[in-house]
């Protein structure tokens, strides 16, 4: 068909989320090594304009909501001309090694809260 598969957007959102956490000073690898995990518990993608295989995309991620054990991140996928290709969100629960929900560590919560405050 010449267009990117619909599931590719969630993979692109994941890459943006990983870079967003890195930008805040937290690598996902470090979180997992310390026994914390952020699995996706909900996701949504609204497709606006198809992406062809040669299109260059800019995927942005921003924190939309911070709760005690959950975060919601919003995403936008735009083409080079800034036209919106897709937008969506993912919700993540913070879990420990046993799969139990836990509160965000103080340093991560502070970084997330600061990021949330800068988007309002």
In-domain check, residue 2: no
Closest CA to 108 of 22, 41, 12: 22
Domain count, the chain: 1
CB neighbour list of residue 64: distance below 8 Å, 6 or more residues apart: 72, 73, 74, 89, 119
pLDDT in tens, 40-61: 999 999 999 999 988 999 999 9
CATH code assigned at 76: 3.10.129.10
Q: Name the pTM for this structure.
A: 0.92
Is the pLDDT score of 118 beyond 80? no
Beta-bridge partners for 7: none
Mean pLDDT across the chain, nearest whole number? Answer: 94
Beta-bridge partners for 44: 89
Give the other-Cβ count within 10 Å of 96's Cβ: 12
Which position has the token pair 């990983």? 18
Which pLDDT band holds residue 13 (cuts at 50, 70, 90)? very high
Which pLDDT band holds residue 119 (cuts at 50, 70, 90)? low
């Amino acid at each position: 068909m010449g267009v990117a598969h619909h599931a590719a957007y969630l993979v692109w959102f994941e890459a943006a989320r990983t870079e967003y956490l890195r930008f805040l000073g937290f690598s996902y690898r470090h979180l997992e090594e310390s026994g914390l995990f952020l699995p996706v518990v909900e996701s949504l993608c609204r497709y606006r304009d198809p992406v062809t295989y040669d299109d260059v995309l800019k995927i942005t991620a921003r924190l939309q909501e911070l709760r005690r054990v959950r975060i919601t991140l919003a995403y936008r996928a735009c083409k080079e001309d800034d036209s919106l290709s897709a937008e969506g969100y993912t919700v993540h629960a913070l879990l420990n090694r046993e799969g139990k929900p836990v509160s965000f560590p103080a340093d991560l919560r502070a970084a997330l809260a600061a990021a949330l405050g800068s988007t309002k």
